[in-house]
């Protein structure tokens, strides 16, 4: 079954009124967004701007959507920012804190997207991702390791689930798409650097390529230290993710994979 077959089957079965492609700026999501845009039901690309990430990736998303003629919706946190989270409880670190950052920085935006576009109580909204099982053995046993799954009105569609990174690279080249230079430097999109599932050494890598971003993070470390709060970005002990986390990371693939690699 091709990716477009997966999309068509999900749309035919569940009849979502809108189909959005979740475009983080990574190469997997670039691939899945380009594929989704070929389906007649495609509505727009959606970028979740967490407020703590690499601006060059945001610019890449905006420029790509403009070049491709894709409508773009960009959502930002509506109640609590990354700075608010850090200054309230310290620098996030570990799965428990990831629950917090994911809720405030991403999940509320997803819910807002669905709420704003539902056309009735029984309506469903399609959300297309670039999740791939090759990225992570964890996903082989998670609820996300399915081409299609539904959580309430959210219809998550994973059309390139069985693709490899090589498949994505070939697709991007064949389609004549521009690659995100942030990914080619950091091997991640950098669209969210909350730190909940990071290792502190990653900050040196970020500082090499994007010193202003690292400087902001280090300034927050100092603010948290002065407030006698946990003050180390990416300082949590690496553990195997608990089942709850395994089942719900649809927009945190980069960090989940890095977490598992370090824990192995």
Q: How many domains are there within the chain?
A: 1
Tokens encoding 198: 């990071």
Dist. CA 228–CA 239, nearest whole Å: 25
What's phi and psi for 78, nearest 5 deg?
-105, -5
pLDDT at 135: 65
pTM of this prediction exceeds 0.85: yes
Give the angle subtended at the CA of 229 by the CAs of 228 and 234, to the nearest 5°. 135
Write the CA distances from 3 to 114, 133, 149, integer angstroms. Answer: 23, 14, 15
- State phi, psi for 196 to the nearest 5 degrees: -65, -30
**Strand 154-157 relative to strand 148-151: parallel, antiparallel, unpaired?**
antiparallel
Amino acid 119: pLDDT = 93
Full residue range of the structural domain in which residue 34 is found: 3-263
Which residue ranges of the chain lie beneath pLDDT 70?
135-144, 235-249, 253-264
Return d(Cα 143, Cα 249) in angstroms, integer: 10
Which H or E element spans position 9? helix 3-14
Contact between residue 30 and residue 68 where contact means Cβ atoms under 8 Å apart: no
CATH number at residue 12: 3.40.50.620
What tokens were used for 177? 């798409």
- What single DSSP character describes residue 192? -
Torsion, CA 120, CA 121, CA 126, CA 127, rounded to 10? 120
Element (H, E) at 156: strand 154-157
CB–CB of 62/36 below 8 Å?
Answer: no
Predicted local distance difference test score (pLDDT) of residue 94? 76
Tokens of 96: 């428990």
Per-residue pLDDT at 96: 74
Closest CA to 223 of 51, 79, 85: 85
pLDDT value of position 254: 58
């Amino acid at each position: 079954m091709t990716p477009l077959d997966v999309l068509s089957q999900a749309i035919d079965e569940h009849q979502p009124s809108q189909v959005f492609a979740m475009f983080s700026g990574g190469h997997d999501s670039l691939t899945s967004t380009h594929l989704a845009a070929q389906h007649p039901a495609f509505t727009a690309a959606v970028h979740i701007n967490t407020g703590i990430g690499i601006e060059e990736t945001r610019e890449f998303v905006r420029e790509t959507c403009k070049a491709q003629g894709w409508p773009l919706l960009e959502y930002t946190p509506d109640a609590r920012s990354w700075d608010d989270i850090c200054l309230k409880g310290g620098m996030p670190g570990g799965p428990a804190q990831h629950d917090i950052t994911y809720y405030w920085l991403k999940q509320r935006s997803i819910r807002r997207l669905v709420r704003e576009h539902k056309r009735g109580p029984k309506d469903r909204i399609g959300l297309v991702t670039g999740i791939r099982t090759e990225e992570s053995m964890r996903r082989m046993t998670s609820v996300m390791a399915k081409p299609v799954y539904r959580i309430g009105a959210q219809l998550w569609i994973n059309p390139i689930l069985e693709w490899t990174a090589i498949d994505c690279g070939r697709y991007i080249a064949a389609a004549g798409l521009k690659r995100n230079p942030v990914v080619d430097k950091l091997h991640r999109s950098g669209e969210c650097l909350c730190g909940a599932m990071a290792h502190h050494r990653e900050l040196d890598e970020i500082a090499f390529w994007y010193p202003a971003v690292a400087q902001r993070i280090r300034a927050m470390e100092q603010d948290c230290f002065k407030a006698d709060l946990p003050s180390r970005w990416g300082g949590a002990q690496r553990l195997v993710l608990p089942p709850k986390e395994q089942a719900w990371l649809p927009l945190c693939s980069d960090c989940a994979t890095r977490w598992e690699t370090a824990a192995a």
